[in-house]
Amino acid sequence: MNLIGVGSFGSVYKGILEENGTFVAVKVLNLVHLGALKSFVVECGALKNIKHRNLLNMMTACSGVDYHRNDFKALVFKYMENGSLERWLHPNPKPSLNNEPTQKLNFFQRINIAIGVASALDYLHHQCHIPIVHCDLKPSNILLDAEMVAHVGDFGLAKFLLGSSPDTVANQMSSIGIRGTIGYVPPEYAMGCEVSREGDVYSYGILLLEMFTGLSPTDDTLRDNFTLHNFVAKALPEQVLEITDHVLLQERENHLSPNSPQHWLSESDGIFQECLFIVYNVGVACSSEVPGRRMSISGAANQLQKIREKLFARGLHGQK
């Protein structure tokens, strides 16, 4: 079966181009769903003039009629061999024959993915001719290629920041409504504030905390309005290890071989905890409830790049 994913407005299938044998992912819109046609138009508009290493670039779009004379619209992308970040962070516990990942993301891979996503957002927010706000950043919308490079996809809810007038963005919002995914949507959107770069930064902060704690923002352990942001902020700085994904803790144990010199063990463990502390501080700063207090996306990328350089210099980068 070629079905590889189902979203709000349609389904994604794996296909192959006959002329050159290239594998592709075809997103077929379900036009019966309210908003699907608008999503198609928005995504085409957002993707037609942008190109970045960490974005899921569109190869082509299809618009016509199917065999039943119904409207047919689809988007064609390069196939991402390693699927979505969601599948790696929260794999299906049941055995699967659908090429589900069997290995886990190590610390260095997570840092690389986080830097890639930050770079993509910085490009969308500050380097495009017309700035673009993604509006639905989450693990299932981040795809990983064969080299585990992150590509931000699904621009069906994206907004263009046309000029400096907030009314321009507000009018776009009123026609489609505030949509996103619970847990990743910044709190100000629920109060009627216009979409903004800072809104994407909030979603990125939550994503970053999820990547290293292993907890989704809607996890059952987060109850009574206790958010992932609050959970991590409360644990800092003393409980860094207690809140970290057990997969990363196991990786730490594997690095701390009892046969290694004591000074090396102490240094490696110190670097591991220091890097975790920085990651969590970046995630907490990005996901502040107050938009004006959030770290810039370029600042977040710079902090994470320093972590990558430190890990690489100490030979702690593991498998890329």
What is the overall mean pLDDT for the chain?
Answer: 87
Residue 4 has pLDDT above 70, yes or no: yes
According to the model, what pLDDT value does residue 174 have?
A: 38
- Ranking 19-23, 111-115, 266-270 by mean pLDDT, the lowest is 266-270
Over residues 57-68, the mean pLDDT reads: 87
Token pair for residue 143?
A: 């795809």
CB 178 within 8 A of CB 136: no
Residue 67 has pLDDT above 90, yes or no: no
According to the model, what pLDDT value does residue 320 have?
A: 41
Over residues 186-202, the mean pLDDT reads: 94
According to the model, what pLDDT value does residue 175 have?
A: 42
According to the model, what pLDDT value does residue 224 have?
A: 76
pLDDT greater at residue 100 or residue 148: 148
Percent of the chain with pLDDT over 70: 86
According to the model, what pLDDT value does residue 24 have?
A: 94
According to the model, what pLDDT value does residue 35 have?
A: 85
Residue 259 has pLDDT above 60, yes or no: no
According to the model, what pLDDT value does residue 98 have?
A: 53
Each domain of the chain, given as residue ranges in start order, spans 83-313
pLDDT tens column, 275-293: 999 999 999 999 999 999 9
Backbone CA torsion sign across 105, 135, 10, 47: negative
Q: How many CB atoms lie within 10 A of CB 265?
A: 15
According to the model, what pLDDT value does residue 316 have?
A: 66
Residue 34 has pLDDT above 90, yes or no: no
Over residues 122-149, the mean pLDDT reads: 96
Could you confirm whether 219 is annotated as catalytic? no
pLDDT-based confidence at residue 171 (cuts at 50, 70, 90): very low
Residue 269 has pLDDT above 90, yes or no: no
- Ranking 108-112, 154-158, 165-169 by mean pLDDT, the lowest is 165-169
Backbone CA torsion sign across 115, 116, 122, 125: negative
Point out the catalytic residue in the list 66, 71, 122, 136: 136
- According to DSSP, the β-strands at 150-152 and 71-78 are unpaired
According to the model, what pLDDT value does residue 32 have?
A: 83
How is domain 83-313 classified at the CATH fold level? Transferase(Phosphotransferase); domain 1 (1.10.510)
Note the pTM of the prediction, 2 decimals. 0.89
Token pair for residue 177?
A: 């409504």
